A and B are shown apart, each in its own frame.
With several copies, the nearest count.
Chain A
Amino acid sequence: MMLEPTEEQALLRDMVSRFLADHVPTDVAGRGSLPLADWRALGDLGVLALAVPEAAGGLGGGPGEIAIVAEAFGRAAAMGPLAECAVLCACLIADGGDQASASKWIGAITSGQAIVAYGGPGEGLGDLTVQRAGEGWILNGERRLVRHGAGAGAFIVALDDAPHLLLIEAATPGVAILPYALADGEQAALVRFDAVEVACEARLQVTPTRRRRVIAMTQLAITAEMIGLMQTLYEATVDHVRQRRQFGVAIGSFQVVQHRVARLFILLEQSRSLLLRAISADDDAFATAVTEAFAYVADAALRLAQDATQLHGGMGVTEDLLVGRGHRRLLVLSHLFGGAIAARAKLAA
């Protein structure tokens, strides 16, 4: 029972934070993905191998380590295919890929040389059908929100109604990638699959339990990233209301401003508690605890972003300040995996 990171975790946090502080100055933060060179440098530092099991050549980090890195990204408003690629896809390939896939992709992902993007099922994410064809399958349909899909070398496509997890290279005939911009400035893609032939080796053999856990790890990373960014926006807001003067006084001396910032403090503390609770949950409780944390934090993050914007006044709605860009980022993160609404529905079921 220990609130502070372990010594190793602290070293990891400090390393990532320092790297991001050097490479993502405030005026650049929150404008889009890290340049590829920086991503590779993170790979060189081992950050992208964190979630991959040791047996597969990774560092075998757990929820705590993943949350620490993701929170550092949020804190710096740094962006990149951390959650879906370095956590989700890397783990799925490590767990369920054959030797060839593993050797082709895991090293490429963890070194930052390649991106594998994820196209999961969900409301509004597009329909997919898969039909048996000889030893393999034929895939038809689309995935509408594939983050980092524009530059991906491969996709992992998941289906709701089937145990299929398919690893499909971007260059496969019949795969069409339509890049588009998300609100946070990152590139996503709508990926169409038109009678794509998938060989049987492309199927990742991941147990449902493990798959659930890896998806929960991904959602945990997103939750931690939100909390890091909430902290940054909170601090910017506290600074602002201390310094900004209207009617001859700092606006932080107005009672309604004080109460509003106090509410943000509460949101942040409560968010952090649910994140810690999820990190600490035992295996059986992990996925639900992550869903709970995500459900709370996704709401809290957007609320905090809205109030941070409001308290910044006109400057808060511009692209010039980090608060506006952070707001955009939180808009996207809080809506992934169906957002708070889908998470609550899952918890109510």
Chain B
Amino acid sequence: MSLALPPEALRFRDEVRAFLDEHLSADLRRGAALTSGVFAEPDIARPWQAILETRGWLVYHWPVAAGGPGWSRVQRWIFEKECAEAGAPALPGMGLKLVGPVLYSFGDDAQKADYLPRLRSGEDFWAQGFSEPGSGSDLASLRTRAVRDGDDYLVTGQKIWTTQAHHANRLFALVRTNPEAKPQAGISFLLIDMASPGVTVRPILSASGDHELNEVFLDAVRVPVANRIGEEGQGWTIAKFLLENERGGSSFGPGLVADLRRLLDATGPLKGELATRAIRLSLDARALETTELRTAIELDAGAPPTPRSLITKLVASEIRQGIDELAVDAFGPAGLQLPAERPFYGPGMPAPIGPQAAQPAAARYLNSRAWTIFGGTSEIQLTLIAKAAVGL
């Protein structure tokens, strides 16, 4: 009974560490440290993606057959922890974490050959078209229609909360192909070229002033039937697969541990209530990374997925919000500045009030409120835990 990493794991860790030391430039670290949104912007993400792809570690969580390096779950955990400690950019997950696994699991050979290389090279930038204005947590009520027209579908509807859609050239979307069927049964999974006529992207500004989210309007957009993943009506099954990947896919704890440490480096030692909150957050984050390591060890040992992994997203969201609220409090008056310019590491940014790390604090605080909403609200997560893990 021990979580201590065995020698071969330590060697692997050192290898990752050495790689990060060498290839993660100061500019990339700085960009990552001053990113206010969930994911790095393309100017940071693209070069880092290329570096990882060159090393063969971009799709480290994909199976060997799909081009992954064949790492164990524990190796993935170690890799994620080292990346977090080193302050690597958070690559957008829509391609690598979401549609990638869908493509290699449900796509046909032509689709795989067509899309996977471009996904990895960064030529394709993906956005996710799931949510709609009327259907947030209740995905099955989606209304975007795809009507068959020869070898194409004509897709009409509206998607919302589409992260980084303004950078994307590809959209994967759930659409209703059969309005007669039961809500879940009539849904299909389509790949849409954002350059198609009828696609309009409208920005949604966050309260922080960040532009990460968008609405995507689809007006009789012509999508080849060949761009459908799986069978018609299989969309719900694929979506569930994807959402489980989203929830349980990667480790949150290491990033939270590292972010809290970086915050405390920037603020210096905290006193009083702030010190107490920092300790509590640190214990929560360390517990979470260990919970994630336990799950990785179990999966490597061939155990079936544990319901414990359901807690990850919920707990991570609350720690994230706790850290970002602590930051505003700890930076004092400097935590209240919120320049309109972006990115925070860009040349157009005004001089910070107080330490540079304080400048994105308010933006981060506001943005991180989204963590308990998107990707399944905390309320949905708790119900899921009660049912699947507790057995109520």
Q: A-side interface residues toward B, CB under 8 Å?
A: 1-6, 9, 64, 68, 122-125, 144-145, 178, 180-183, 188, 190, 238, 241-242, 246-248, 252-259, 261-263, 265-266, 269-271, 273-274, 276-277, 279-282, 292, 295-296, 306, 309-310, 313-314, 316-320, 324-325, 327-328, 331-332, 335, 338-339, 341, 344-345, 347-348
Task: List 17 extra interface pairs beyond A277-B286, A317-B366, CB under 8 A.
Answer: A1-B5, A123-B332, A145-B333, A182-B338, A183-B336, A242-B392, A246-B136, A256-B379, A258-B387, A259-B383, A265-B390, A266-B314, A269-B311, A314-B213, A318-B204, A319-B209, A345-B272
For residue B226, CB closer than 8 A to chain A, the reply is: no
| Contact between chains at A273 and B290 (CB < 8 Å) | yes
| Contact between chains at A331 and B366 (CB < 8 Å) | yes
| Contact between chains at A262 and B382 (CB < 8 Å) | yes
Q: Bin the interface of chain B by size.
A: 35 or more
Residue of B74, B333, B337 touching A1 (CB-CB under 8 A): B74
For residue B126, CB closer than 8 A to chain A, the reply is: no
Q: Which of B361-385 contact A (CB under 8 A)?
A: 362, 365-367, 369-370, 372-374, 377-379, 382-383, 385
B298 — which chain A residues lie within 8 A by C-beta? 3
What does the 1/0 interface line of B105-141 toward A look like (CB < 8 Å)?
0000000000000000000000000010001111001
| Contact between chains at A279 and B2 (CB < 8 Å) | yes
| Contact between chains at A316 and B276 (CB < 8 Å) | no
| Contact between chains at A313 and B373 (CB < 8 Å) | yes
B390 — which chain A residues lie within 8 A by C-beta? 238, 258, 261-262, 265
Chain A residue nearest to B374 (CB atoms) is A314
Most B CB within 10 A of own CB, among A1, A180, A256, A313: A1
Chain B residue nearest to A341 (CB atoms) is B273
| Contact between chains at B382 and A317 (CB < 8 Å) | no
A-B CB contact pairs (8 Å), 19 listed: A3-B1, A3-B298, A6-B1, A181-B337, A181-B340, A246-B138, A258-B383, A259-B383, A265-B386, A265-B389, A265-B390, A274-B283, A279-B2, A295-B283, A296-B284, A310-B373, A317-B207, A327-B369, A331-B366
B385 — which chain A residues lie within 8 A by C-beta? 262, 265-266
What does the 1/0 interface line of B257-297 toward A look like (CB < 8 Å)?
00000000000001011111011101110111011001001
| Contact between chains at A273 and B291 (CB < 8 Å) | yes
B351 — which chain A residues lie within 8 A by C-beta? 178
A253 — which chain B residues lie within 8 A by C-beta? 392
A145 — which chain B residues lie within 8 A by C-beta? 333, 336, 353
Q: A183 to B206, alpha carbons, bound, how many Å?
A: 12
B294 to chain A, nearest CB (A): 6
A1 — which chain B residues lie within 8 A by C-beta? 2-6, 9, 74, 297
B84 to chain A, nearest CB (A): 17
| Contact between chains at A276 and B283 (CB < 8 Å) | no
| Contact between chains at B373 and A316 (CB < 8 Å) | yes
Q: A246 to B141, alpha carbons, bound, how many Å?
A: 9
Interface of A is mostly: helix
| Contact between chains at B386 and A277 (CB < 8 Å) | no
Residue of A3, A246, A338 touching B294 (CB-CB under 8 A): A3
Q: Which of B295-344 contact A (CB under 8 A)?
A: 297-298, 301, 308, 311, 314-315, 328-329, 331-340
| Contact between chains at A310 and B308 (CB < 8 Å) | no
| Contact between chains at B205 and A320 (CB < 8 Å) | yes
A292 — which chain B residues lie within 8 A by C-beta? 283, 286
For residue B391, CB closer than 8 A to chain A, the reply is: yes
Q: A328 to B328, alpha carbons, bound, how many Å?
A: 12
For residue B350, CB closer than 8 A to chain A, the reply is: yes
| Contact between chains at A341 and B379 (CB < 8 Å) | no
- Which 9 residue pairs are nearest across A and B when measured between Cβ atoms? A124-B332, A324-B207, A258-B386, A273-B290, A145-B333, A270-B287, A262-B385, A280-B3, A183-B362
| Contact between chains at B339 and A181 (CB < 8 Å) | yes
B277 to chain A, nearest CB (A): 10
B372 — which chain A residues lie within 8 A by C-beta? 310
B60 to chain A, nearest CB (A): 19
Q: A196 to B223, alpha carbons, bound, how many Å?
A: 69
For residue B354, CB closer than 8 A to chain A, the reply is: yes
A191 to chain B, nearest CB (A): 11
Most A CB within 10 A of own CB, among B1, B135, B372, B391: B1
A266 — which chain B residues lie within 8 A by C-beta? 311, 314-315, 385
B366 — which chain A residues lie within 8 A by C-beta? 183, 317, 324, 327-328, 331
| Contact between chains at B373 and A317 (CB < 8 Å) | yes
A317 to chain B, nearest CB (A): 5
A347 to chain B, nearest CB (A): 5
